[in-house]
């Protein structure tokens, strides 16, 4: 059984079809990426999956259960969590407390949640502390545990957001452009963390414009353009797909993320 399954999902905003009859599956194992030009409907897809928006049509199944139209808190509690395109942290709380809030907020899903259910308040607090510190170590943030979140450099804030989302041991995590604004080194560290999340059994679905990150982390790629799925396959397959190349030509960017020059356009047109 796939971890997530979209069946003919559509979302209209007035006359605009932001997501148009999209179907794909996210397997339990590994990392799946969604790529596509700006405005293609990627974030809207996440909003539909996470329950922030109801679809106009179609069905969304999480671990076989129909979650279409369920409220976001219920979906998160079932083990499907997300991060946002723009960082949202509790800026005045310490780095450690941000992760602790994640432990408490994200319901009682997964192994860690089961542990909390049987604990007294004191034991629960101790377990949350241990778990939160483990996650900080995982995200390379141990040295910043007691600092306020607002003081972290941007790349570390993104890592903290990831650690917080991982706090309750989700079954599936949605990451919206996690590498946006990161430098090469931070992006490489992020890629390693994403691979580890997948290796430890959380399926990852990520939206990303940074094709280096996609090539380094994704096992499968779904490509969307104007709300429609136009291709699906391994990173190498989709990069060579003519429909994908054509979709990116109009944007002035190639599917490799590099700027496309006029001669590139002619090369592709000829090739
Ligand atoms: N709440 C909304 N109300 C009206 N239109 C919306 C809403 N959310 C998104 N849209 C529109 O839907 C289309 C898809 O937007 P979306 O944010 O999903 O694109 P995206 O692929 O995430 O783009 P980017 O790569 O720039 O983040 C856009 O035309 C956008 O303006
Ligand atoms: Mg977006």
- DSSP, collapsed to helix, strand or coil, labels residue 19 as strand
What's the CA gap between 87 and 45, in Å, rounded? Answer: 18
What's the CA gap between 150 and 190, in Å, rounded? Answer: 20
Multiple choice CATH, 1-79+170-271, 2.140.10.10, 3.30.390.30, 3.40.50.150, 3.40.50.300: 3.40.50.300
**Which residue from 12, 14, 39 has its CB within 8 A of the most atoms of ligand 1, so it is best to mutate?**
39
**Which residue from 12, 13, 211 has its CB within 8 A of the most atoms of ligand 1, so it is best to mutate?**
13
- 148 with 83: CB under 8 angstroms? no
What's the CA gap between 236 and 12, in Å, rounded? Answer: 32
Strands 228-233 and 80-82: unpaired
132 CA → ligand 1 middle, Å: 34
Domain range list for the chain: 1-79+170-271, 89-169
Per-residue pLDDT of the chain (271 residues; tens, 9 = 90+): 899 999 999 999 999 999 999 999 999 999 999 999 999 999 999 999 999 999 999 999 999 999 999 999 899 888 999 887 666 788 889 999 999 988 876 555 555 666 666 677 788 888 889 999 999 999 999 999 999 999 899 889 989 989 988 887 889 999 999 998 899 999 999 999 999 999 989 999 999 988 889 988 999 999 999 999 999 999 999 999 999 999 887 665 655 554 443 333 333 333 3
CB within 6 Å of ligand 1 — which residues? 13, 16, 18, 36, 38-44, 85
Nearest CA among 60, 35, 55, 33 for reference residue 44:
55
226 CA → ligand 1 middle, Å: 10
Nearest CA to ligand 1 atom 4: 13
pLDDT score recorded for residue 262 = 36
112 CA → ligand 2 middle, Å: 31
Q: pTM for this structure?
A: 0.86
What's the CA gap between 89 and 107, in Å, rounded? Answer: 18
What's the CA gap between 90 and 161, in Å, rounded? Answer: 10
Mention every residue, 6+ apart, whose C-beta is less than 8 A from residue 219.
29, 30, 31, 32, 234
- Which ligand 1 atom minimizes the distance to the CA of 37? 25
């Amino acid at each position: 059984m796939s971890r997530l399954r979209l069946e003919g999902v559509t979302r209209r905003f007035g006359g605009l079809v932001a997501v148009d009859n999209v179907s794909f599956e996210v397997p339990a194992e590994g990392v799946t990426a969604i790529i596509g030009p700006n405005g293609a409907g990627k974030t809207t897809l996440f909003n539909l999956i996470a329950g922030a928006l109801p679809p106009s049509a179609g069905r969304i199944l999480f671990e076989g259960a129909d979650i279409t139209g369920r409220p976001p808190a219920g979906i998160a509690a079932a083990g499907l969590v997300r991060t946002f395109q723009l960082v949202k942290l509790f800026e005045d709380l310490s780095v450690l407390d941000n992760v602790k809030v994640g432990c408490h907020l994200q319901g009682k899903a997964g192994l860690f949640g089961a542990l909390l259910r049987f604990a007294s308040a004191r034991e629960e607090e101790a377990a949350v502390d241990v778990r939160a510190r483990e996650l900080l170590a995982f995200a390379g943030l141990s040295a910043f545990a007691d600092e306020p979140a607002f003081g972290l450099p941007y790349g570390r804030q993104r890592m903290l957001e990831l650690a917080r989302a991982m706090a309750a041991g989700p079954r599936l995590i949605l990451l919206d452009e996690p590498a946006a604004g990161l430098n090469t080194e931070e992006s490489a560290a992020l890629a390693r963390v994403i691979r580890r999340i997948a290796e430890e059994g959380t399926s990852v679905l990520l939206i990303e414009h940074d094709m280096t990150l996609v090539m380094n982390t994704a096992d499968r790629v779904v490509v969307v353009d104007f709300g429609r799925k136009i291709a699906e396959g391994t990173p190498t397959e989709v990069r060579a797909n003519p429909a994908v190349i054509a979709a990116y030509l109009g944007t002035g960017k190639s599917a490799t993320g590099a700027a496309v020059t006029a001669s590139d356009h002619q090369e592709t047109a000829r090739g």
